[in-house]
Chain A
């Protein structure tokens, strides 16, 4: 396929569609809100995917970076009334700095221990930010009157960030860096023997990954106008959901997190709102149940995710059609 400025034709079409999406949806702020959420999860998913899906370091504590990014935008506002918009510069940076120190600790660990180490790091930060009231305003959280009523500016901002994360991953995976990440995922010992400083490259992967997670966090603060440690450092609602977005879409694929984010947000909302108010009320109780069940089924039958196992899905879909005709 011919290359048009880093992306393929098909990918440009998708991006074009995304750029028009807020209008296609009848300009409803509610659906625009959902789309913004999807895109935020795309950024988080991409961030996690680079570290876990491509470099094999499965982080269970991505909320740490998301949260630090959000607070990097919120704390200067809380103390000095500095606009949270500066968080777009400081959020990613703060997360990279945190990643640098965290990396020193957790990269001593491998496999399930790495997972546990990252999980614990995220939890410690959540408790810390809840407790250190002088700095973070504790559980009161930090509130900020958001700048725009319209969702359009936020939509294009996060679309830009999401696109940036996608292109970044794509470019990286076509370079030396990407090859090194993959080799670390596949076999660390073999990678070392080929002259790859695995610690250094794991830290690079973490830095890029935490940068985007921090950026997503700063965006969250700007858009939602509210942070509190239980929300932005949440183990289940951020760290684990990020992983599930990756799993559903496809670990170690460029478009996996994007597809996963779309599926996750829309399935949850479809059920939460009882099929947008059409279905009976009790359906809304099922929103997390359906998503949990989807995760179980996906891991069992389509471990590669929707994108990774697209060939299998298409084959099944195709077969059905043949039967239908016969």
Chain B
């Protein structure tokens, strides 16, 4: 018994020692919350790679205020509760003054609350549900910008399709649509947002239908397309579901005028890999494309491929992470010290150009600390993801109308 007490006492002391983070003057630690294992690990990995790419570049160029930038990664495993615990650990154990990352909408939203509670700035770079930057969801008012610690680099999901809206406006022949979405926060909200877009465009939405991630057989869902014959099928899915949806659409020989994805899975290389020829000529909303005339976009794209894998090139998720790293660097450099409050003040004044596009946190509608930006449209043409909208930036002409029978031969 005595021995057990002694051992546990020793263990407690050890824990206490580890619990006290050492103050280190040679580096600055920033927390990153990402799904590194679990269903969304593919995205997490791409973002982590991009954070590392940026970190190496930044440190090679002299670091931040003479210190080395260090990212402390915390795996949220794609689960909101784990994400919240990870946030707490970053704040209380690693004692980071700022956190970035945040992949899935539900995890990011749940985790943002922890950052807000502890008053640690959280720069969201992917989580897209609108309410993340709406102070109302955190019991704050729109005028409470000085108390609001959540910032977002990427546009909210309601604006994902803004580029798409312009694209569809030009195609007078699209009059009806069906919307399929995974039953997640991202999916439900994306579907609602697109239904509103359709209303603006005068497109009649026949049906909004949800499915569970990991469904084996989508045919009951897709048969609705066969029956109701909409012009457009809009789908909000992650990679594997996206691939199966298209494979089974091909199998059922569906022939709407357009298959449109809402970003997420539909721009990933793994989508093309799995859906094969069924992915050909599908269209997707996107937040970025490497051919955009944004300084550093192509450089990032090439650097990523050179450093990691030429078979899985990065899409907008990667560049969001890459850009977030530079926004972090910029803010810390302008901050008076390394404290959370100072970094927040610096973030308020952010106005810079990144490989993702211009970044400036503004207040509009119900949101504050939100970066507002344009979105784009891409299409898989001959196995490559090509930018097709806006027209003045596109190097490739959109393929439309599409003869699915010929494409899917």
Contact = CB atoms under 8 A, between A and B. Distances in A.
- Chain B associates with chain A: yes
Interface of A: 24-26, 28-31, 33, 130-131, 133, 138-141, 143, 145-146, 149, 224-226, 228, 230-231, 273, 276-278, 284-285
B188 A139 contact: yes
B342 interface: no
Nearest to A281: B73
Given A140-B106, A141-B106, A31 B15 contact: yes
Contacts of A226: 80-81, 84, 110, 113
B19 A285 contact: no
A119 B267 CA distance: 38
A36 to B, nearest CB: 11
B93 A28 contact: yes
A30 B113 contact: no
Ranked 7 nearest A-B pairs via Cβ: A26-B16, A28-B19, A29-B92, A276-B18, A226-B110, A30-B93, A30-B92
Interface in B81-98: 81, 84-85, 88-89, 92-93
Interface string B309-348: 0000000000000000000000000000000000000000
B79 interface: yes
Contacts of A33: 85, 88
A240 to B, nearest CB: 16
A310 B18 CA distance: 31
A231 B81 contact: yes
B290 to A, nearest CB: 31
Most B CB within 10 A of own CB, among A33, A130, A139: A139
A154 B212 CA distance: 34
17 contacts: A26-B19, A26-B20, A28-B16, A30-B92, A30-B93, A31-B15, A31-B19, A131-B183, A138-B183, A139-B185, A139-B187, A140-B189, A141-B185, A143-B113, A145-B113, A146-B117, A226-B81
B380 interface: no
Contact of A29 (B37, B88, B139, B188): B88
Interface of B: 12, 15-16, 18-20, 37, 75, 79-81, 84-85, 88-89, 92-93, 106, 109-110, 113, 116-118, 129, 137-139, 183-185, 187-189, 212
Contact of B12 (A25, A30, A130): A25
A65 to B, nearest CB: 18
Given A143-B109, A226-B80, A130 B93 contact: no
A145 B80 CA distance: 15
B18 A278 contact: yes
A276 B84 contact: no
Contacts of B92: 28-30
A130 B113 contact: no
A19 to B, nearest CB: 16
Nearest to A229: B183
Contacts of B110: 141, 143, 225-226
A25 B188 contact: no
Contacts of B12: 24-25
Nearest to B186: A139
A26 B92 CA distance: 12
A162 B79 CA distance: 26
Contacts of B106: 139-141, 228
A262 to B, nearest CB: 11
A32 to B, nearest CB: 9
A145 B84 CA distance: 13
A95 B311 CA distance: 51
B183 A145 contact: no
Given A139-B185, A141-B185, A231-B80, A30 B139 contact: no
Contact of A139 (B37, B88, B183): B183
Given A31-B19, A139-B106, A224-B84, 9 more contacts: A25-B12, A28-B92, A31-B15, A33-B88, A130-B183, A130-B212, A143-B109, A225-B113, A285-B37
Contacts of A146: 113, 117
Contacts of B137: 143
B183 A30 contact: no
